Structure 1
Amino acid sequence: MKRSARTITLHRSTVKLLAAIVAVAGFGSAWAQDPHAGHHGHPSSDAAAAAPAAEDDGMQGMEEGPAPAAAMPLSNAAPSMDHSDMKMQGGSAPADARDPHAYSDGYQLGVGQYALGSARHLHMADEHTFAAVLVDRLEWAHANGANAANWEAQAWFGGTYNRLVIKTEGEAAGGKVHDARTELLWGHAIAPYWDTQLGWRNDAGSGRPARNWLAFGVQGLAPYWFEVDATVYVGDSGRTALRLSAEYELLITQRLILQPRIEANLYGRNDPETGTGSGLSNGAVGLRLRYEINRQFAPYIGVERYQTFGNTSNMLRAAGGRSGETRFVAGVRLWF
């Protein structure tokens, strides 16, 4: 009998412990679900439901708490936000908004003391006329104990699409111009970096007859920033010629620039009076290092190899000259 009473007492203790655990668990769940539970001190509905089960096991006299938060009247809920007074974008500007015409002091473009009138004063960039002069090479050259002055320049005047272009290149020594090329061309833009050129070329020099040519070519900036100039010439008596040149600017720094350059001249037939032969007549490969004090003035030094080929080389050697020479150059590049 003592064992039975002890067993009953143990069972009751176990039931009370389980009831307490269930009540605590229910209170924790209600706390998590009801954010106001801990602030108002109200037990959850689960805790209230667990209370009768505890009474059956001897937990009599537990005082029942107030109604759970879920059963609270709607009058205590937070009021909804009224959006009726809010204004969206648009509408009239506020009274303290900045006046968009305040900086003009009341003056307008078409009326008043500073009116521009009916004449059109604003123009796009391609409606203006520009001019420029580029002296790409103005240099002193030394080769085989002799000195000479070389130049290559071009100037243009016009707009974005159509220009008048003048080109000149030559060599002078001993106070005489031995070889000079002058071109008068009309340039027309066919692409953002390319112009076609059509016009006239004149060759002249001391002790040699003049030659005139009809010129047609292209000039521009090839991919990878190679500056290219290619021109075909047609002269009298069936003469033809082709001139090709290309150069590249390698920026060592923003001011120090290395410029490799190559040039080649080809002719369709022999011309003994001017000392030019058919085929590849002559060419030059040079390397110049310049320092841009500014974009308009840049001195340079360099080296260049000039070489004649084929019939031109044979004619030159027969006259007692050299077929090629290495030149050391120093000069300046100008831009206006």
Structure 2
Amino acid sequence: MALRKALLPILLAAAPVPAWGQDHAGMDHSMMDMSANEAPADQPGDAPAPLPPQDHAADRVFAPERMAASRSAMIGEMDFSTFALQIDRLEYRAANGKDGFGWDGQAWYGGDIDRAVLASEGEGTFGDRAERIELNAYWRHALDPWFNLQLGVRHDFRPDPRRTYALIGIEGLAPYWFDVTGQLLVSEKGDVHARGKAGYQQRITQSLVVEPEAEVDFAFQDAPALAVGSGFERLELGARLRYERNRSLAPYVGVHWERKLAGTARLARAAGEDVSGLSAVFGFRAMF
């Protein structure tokens, strides 16, 4: 008897229950139109954006004056100065019977915003005096994340006679990753010159980098003492393939071509000098 009472609830639960059909004919479907055209949509508002929070979470736990001092110290630690020496080019130039050399490098001290820069550039042929020796000293100030202002002086040790120029320029990273520089120079004699540079570094593999570049000088007037005519003075074009396994010292090979232009070329021909030259280059780039 007790067993029957125990099995009775189980049998009732397992018994089939008749399904009652639903008659939809009497239902009102007029309120069930879910057309996308009539669906509610959020409309953009014209309320001003909320102000950024002015408080600091740590001030709720620690004394605000102590946290203000800590934040000031942290900002000061981020504004540090460094020293670096970068030799962009130090190379041997193999030409037809007139092998030569060239260099381009700079050293700086400072931070991300302001730096003191000492830069030098020059070239020459073996067995003769250097044809061009330039020394630049300027202050570099970051105008934005991409471009810097240059303000300083340039002194030319060669060619003779020596000249000192006031220098103002812009350098930076242009769209499509072109390194560009533009400078305006005024000498103590009053002659005005300009220089433009552009270069691009294309990584072929993890270790191989090809770097084409161009440099052009322009004179706003004749400078007979410097054998320079008004207009474009000279043009340099080059391409170098660098093996950069270690960025601190990277050898390269390439080609270098330069040509004197316009009035400067005419003066060079009158003096019996070559107006253009092509050379194979071998050198290295270094950073310390």
Alignment TM class, shorter chain as reference: 0.7 to 0.9
Equivalent residue in structure 1 for 2:166, among 201, 206, 214: 214
Q: 1:40 to 1:265 in 2, by over 3 A?
A: same
The letter for the 2-side match of 1:172 is G
The RMSD of aligned alpha carbons is 2.3
The letter for the 1-side match of 2:206 is Q
Equivalent residue in structure 2 for 1:143, among 85, 90, 95: 95
Q: Report deviation, 1:177.
A: 2.3
Q: Partner residue of 2:264?
A: 312
Q: Report deviation, 1:124.
A: 5.0
Equivalent residue in structure 1 for 2:146, among 189, 193, 208: 193
The letter for the 1-side match of 2:10 is H
After TM superposition, the score normalised by the length of structure 1 is: 0.64
Q: Report deviation, 1:318.
A: 0.7
Equivalent residue in structure 2 for 1:290, among 242, 248, 259: 242
| Residue 132 (structure 1) aligned with residue 84 (structure 2) | yes
CA distance in 2, matches of 1:46, 1:155: 93
CA distance in 1, matches of 2:130, 2:278: 20
Q: Report deviation, 1:212.
A: 0.9
Q: Partner residue of 2:208?
A: 256
Q: Partner residue of 1:204?
A: 157
**1:198-229 deviations in whole A, cap 9, x for unaligned?**
000111226x1101110000111111111111
**1:233-272 deviations in whole A, cap 9, x for unaligned?**
1123331011101110110101100000100000111112
Does the 8 A contact of 1:268 with 1:278 survive in 2? yes
Q: Secondary structure at the match of 1:146?
A: coil
CA distance in 2, matches of 1:263, 1:39: 98
The answer for unaligned runs of 5 or more in structure 1 is: 1-37, 48-117
| Residue 232 (structure 1) aligned with residue 202 (structure 2) | no
Q: Report deviation, 1:168.
A: 0.6
Written as runs of structure 1 = structure 2, the 5 A alignment for 1:1-336 is 40-42=10-12, 43=15, 46=18, 122=74, 126-173=78-125, 174=127, 176-205=129-158, 208-336=160-288
The letter for the 2-side match of 1:299 is P
Q: Secondary structure at the match of 1:316?
A: helix
Q: Report deviation, 1:143.
A: 1.9
CA distance in 2, matches of 1:144, 1:202: 31
CA distance in 1, matches of 2:17, 2:106: 97
Q: 1:269 to 1:259 in 2, by over 3 A?
A: same
Q: Partner residue of 1:102?
A: none
The answer for unaligned runs of 5 or more in structure 2 is: 1-7, 20-69
Q: 1:46 to 1:159 in 2, by over 3 A?
A: closer
Q: Secondary structure at the match of 1:238?
A: coil
The letter for the 1-side match of 2:11 is G
Does the 8 A contact of 1:126 with 1:160 survive in 2? no
Bigger RCO (CA 8 Å, 6+ sep): 2
Aligned residues: 228
CA distance in 1, matches of 2:178, 2:282: 23
The letter for the 2-side match of 1:209 is P
The letter for the 2-side match of 1:183 is N
**1:52-102 deviations in whole A, cap 9, x for unaligned?**
xxxxxxxxxxxxxxxxxxxxxxxxxxxxxxxxxxxxxxxxxxxxxxxxxxx
Q: Secondary structure at the match of 1:176?
A: coil
CA distance in 1, matches of 2:217, 2:156: 13
